Amino acid sequence: MRCIVMVRATKDSESGVMPRKELIEAMGKFNEELVKAGVMLAGEGLKPSSNGKRVHFSGAKRSVIDGPFTEAKELIAGFWLWQVRSMEEAVEWVKRCPNPFEGESEIEIRQVFEPEDFGAEFTPELREQEERQRKQMARQK
Amino acid sequence: MATDTHRAIDAVWRMESPRLIAGLTRIVHDIGLAEDLAQDALVAALEKWPESGVPDNPGAWLMATAKHRAIDHFRRNTRLDRKHEELGRDLAAKEMAVPDLDSALDDDVGDDLLRLVFISCHPVLSTEAQVALTLRLLGGLTTEEIARAFLVPEPTIAQRIVRAKRTLAEKRVPFEVPRGSDLGARLSSVLGVLYLIFNEGYSATAGDDWMRPALCEEALRLGRILAGLAPREPEVHGLVALMEIQASRSKARAGPKGEPILLFDQNRAHWDQLLIRRGLAALEDAEKMGAAPGAYALQAKIAACHARARTPEETDWHRIVTFYDELSQVSPSPVVELNRAVAVAMAFGPAAGLELVDSLIGEPSLRNYHLLPSVRGDLLKKLSRFDEARAEFARAASLTQNARERELLLERVQECGGRAGPPDPR
């Protein structure tokens, strides 16, 4: 499964305070571990929301809102895309991540929809049928 | 709460067990004993962690526990075996001298993992045993999971693993990274195992299960790890590139009923652009080494030609033909020739392709290969030789073991039905 791992923004990240050298190094080492374990597919840090835009939809109307946006903890400061075997594995990896900011911060893990989450080919009935066939075949061998 | 911890332990185990087993094998010189010790550590974790919580550095905890078990084990066997006693004392001494086990291990971990990869795919083992051992030791899969993935009863897999470990011990296979002229052959055996696992997941050879994404993901993950462990081997990057690009199509490869969709009928908007980019980057890494491309890099180049084409019509078939020409030099096989024939047909017309396919008809290794009549049928159909095409599709349908593929081929038989017309001017 894949998950997107989002680092929540803080006042510091929103005001453009750059992380200290030690943190950058620690984060670099963590990223290296992720790559070595075949976990990291992609990852980026984001500029403060003062550089961002929002497009608001209201029916057919669209209006553009300039950053910065309030409520830092609802914004994200960076993200990874990971390939892991379970949500628990993602949690274990996040626990090994250096604290992305000084003091309080938060990282959120969200699972990405996979092909098998969609479409009629993976209805529960079909899954069950496959399961039965597998068992049958296992018995025949 | 207890089940949460158990799931966390399971996740930690999958993450840590390859490094654990690799590190222990270096110390105890026996892969079976190393796995037993690692399992002992897991059992200890299952006892302790639900109460104490998962420790901050679970990998180091497991390693320290396993090492203590190793020392106990050797002490217990002291009277039986002098050599074991020495090993035990050695180990205890090392432990005293190096208080920070984790950092002492860190430097060697990469090498140990690489050694574990090579020993799991050692040529003294059968391919089946290599695959099972790789998934078990490096993938951290249970025997039950491996059995399910390969549609084989669990005891068969368990036996395969036990026998493999015994063979490695009996033949005294060293725990090492091969050097010099040995390396090439040994590496190709490792890459072969990974690609086999990938293909088993990508296109099931038997049964109704068209895709088994877990095996593909596992092969890709192991490939990416290997690329980090052996970054100067172009074919490792070549194989990773090939797998990334092939995996990029997985969303587009099956229709709503799970029926296979062929490359040209796939909705290219469903191709995973991130995986394509990763594949192209891996291919660049392979090319950077400057060596003549190997079989995997060439296949990746071919896959990349498809990945770069936004529509089937944009496919650069002439370029693909040149890559197949190279591939048939580097790794000649009737299957490569068959693929080359398809590319030639696309670049220079079905008649040119058919000529090549016809030259393969007597090939013994393709006698029961369903893609030979399937390709031949396709070319005959393009040449409006419908009666012959129908017979070929029927033959292909009778040869494939994949039920969904069979359905597709039987549909093609129908398509050739009562139709008869003037021959295609091409």
Instruction: Tell me the pLDDT of chain B (426 aa) as tens digits.
Output: 557 888 999 999 999 999 999 999 998 889 999 999 999 999 999 999 999 988 989 999 999 999 999 888 887 776 566 666 566 666 666 554 443 444 444 445 678 999 999 999 999 999 999 999 999 999 988 898 888 888 888 999 999 999 999 999 999 999 999 988 888 899 999 999 999 999 888 865 444 454 477 889 999 999 999 999 999 999 999 999 999 999 999 888 887 776 778 888 999 999 999 999 999 999 999 999 988 999 999 999 999 999 999 999 999 999 999 999 999 999 999 999 999 999 999 999 999 999 999 999 989 989 889 999 999 999 999 999 999 999 999 999 999 887 878 888 999 999 987 554 444 444
| pLDDT of the residue at B101 | 42
8 Å CB contact between B71 and B91: yes
The CATH number fitting domain A2-140, selected from 3.80.10.10, 3.30.70.1060, 1.25.50.10, 2.40.170.20: 3.30.70.1060
Q: Does the distance separating the beta carbons of A92 and B58 come in below 8 Å?
A: yes
Show the tokens assigned to B155. 């005891």
Best of A36, A91, A112 to mutate (most B CBs within 10 Å, chain B)? A36
Is residue B393 a contact partner of residue B405, using CB atoms and an 8 Å limit?
A: no
A42 vs B110, B152, B274: nearest CB:
B274
Q: How far is CA B267 from CA A48, B262, B408, in A?
A: 37, 10, 18
Chain A residue closest to B8 (CA)? Answer: A88
Q: Please state, in angstroms and rounded to a whole number, the distance separating the CA atoms of residues B423 and B323.
A: 31
Cβ distance of A92 and B8 shorter than 8 Å: yes
A44 closest CA partner among A7, A87, A84:
A7
At a CB cut-off of 8 Å and minimum separation 6, what does B53 contact?
B5
The residue in chain B having the minimum alpha-carbon distance to the alpha carbon of residue A113 is: B251
CA A114-A120-A121 angle, to 5 degrees, is: 70
Contacts of residue A133, Cβ cutoff 8 Å, sequence gap at least 6:
B207, B208, B209
Per-residue pLDDT reduced to its tens digit, A90-129 = 999 999 999 999 889 999 999 998 766 655 444 555 555 5
Q: 3-class DSSP state for residue B213? A: helix
Q: What is the largest CA-CA distance in chain A?
A: 65
Please state, in angstroms and rounded to a whole number, the distance separating the CA atoms of residues A88 and A58: 38
Token pair of B233 as six digits: 């081997």
CA B75 to centroid of chain Cα atoms:
40
Checking phi first, is residue B177 left (phi over 0); if not, alpha (psi -120 to 50) or beta? Answer: beta
How is residue B277 written in tokens? 């980019």
Nearest to A86 among B11, B228, B250 (CB): B11
**CA distances to B189, B302, B305, B307, B351 from B317, in Å:** 31, 9, 8, 13, 15
Cβ–Cβ below 8 Å for A141 and B224: no
Interface test with B, best of A34, A88, A94 (most B CBs within 10 A): A88
What number of other Cβ atoms are within 10 A of residue B2's Cβ? Answer: 9
Query: Could you tell me which residues come within 8 angstroms of residue A102 by beta carbon, excluding any fewer than 6 positions away?
Result: A12, A20
Which residues in chain B touch residue A140, judged by CB atoms under 8 angstroms apart?
A: none
Contact B279, B242 (CB under 8 A): yes
Query: How far is Cα B263 from Cα B252, in angstroms, rounded to an integer?
Result: 9
- Taking chain A (141 residues) in runs of 10, the rounded mean pLDDT of each run is 95 88 94 94 94 95 93 87 95 95 93 71 52 52 44
Cα(B257)–Cα(B210) distance, rounded to whole angstroms? 11
List the one residue out of B80, B70, B65 whose CA is nearest residue B34. B70
Minimum distance, in Å, between the CA of residue B148 and any CA atom of chain A: 7
Q: How many CB pairs under 8 A join A and B?
A: 86
Q: CB within 8 A of B138, min separation 6: which ones?
A: B18, B113, B116, B117, B120, B222, B225
DSSP A48: -
In chain B, count of helices (H) and strands (E)?
A: 19, 0
**Rg of chain A in Å (alpha carbons):** 21
Q: Is B11 on the interface with A (CB under 8 A)?
A: yes
β-strands A76-83, A107-111 pairing: unpaired
Q: What is d(CA B213, CA A105) in angstroms, rounded to the nearest whole number?
A: 34
Q: Is residue B250 within 8 angstroms of chain A, CB to CB?
A: yes
Q: Which of A37, A121, A139 sits opposite B225 (nearest CB)?
A: A37
What is the end-to-end Cα distance of chain A in Å, rounded?
30
Contact A38 B224 (CB under 8 A): yes
| Identity of the amino acid at A121 | E
Ranges of H-type helices in B141-272? 143-149, 154-170, 181-202, 213-229, 234-247
In angstroms, the first-to-last Cα distance of chain B is 70
What letter would DSSP give residue A113? P
CA distance B55 to B119: 31
Q: Which residue is closest to A89 within chain B, CA to CA?
A: B11
Q: Any chain A CB within 8 A of the CB of B147?
A: yes
Q: Which of B270, B181, B199, B182 is CA-nearest to residue B239?
A: B199
Nearest CA-CA distance, residue B200 and chain A, Å: 15
Within 10 angstroms of residue B424's Cβ, the number of other Cβ atoms is 13
State which amino acid sits at residue B3. Answer: T
Delimit the domains of chain A by residue range. Answer: 2-140
The dihedral through the CA atoms of B390, B394, B399, B402 has a sign that is positive
User: Helix or strand or coil: residue A49?
Assistant: helix
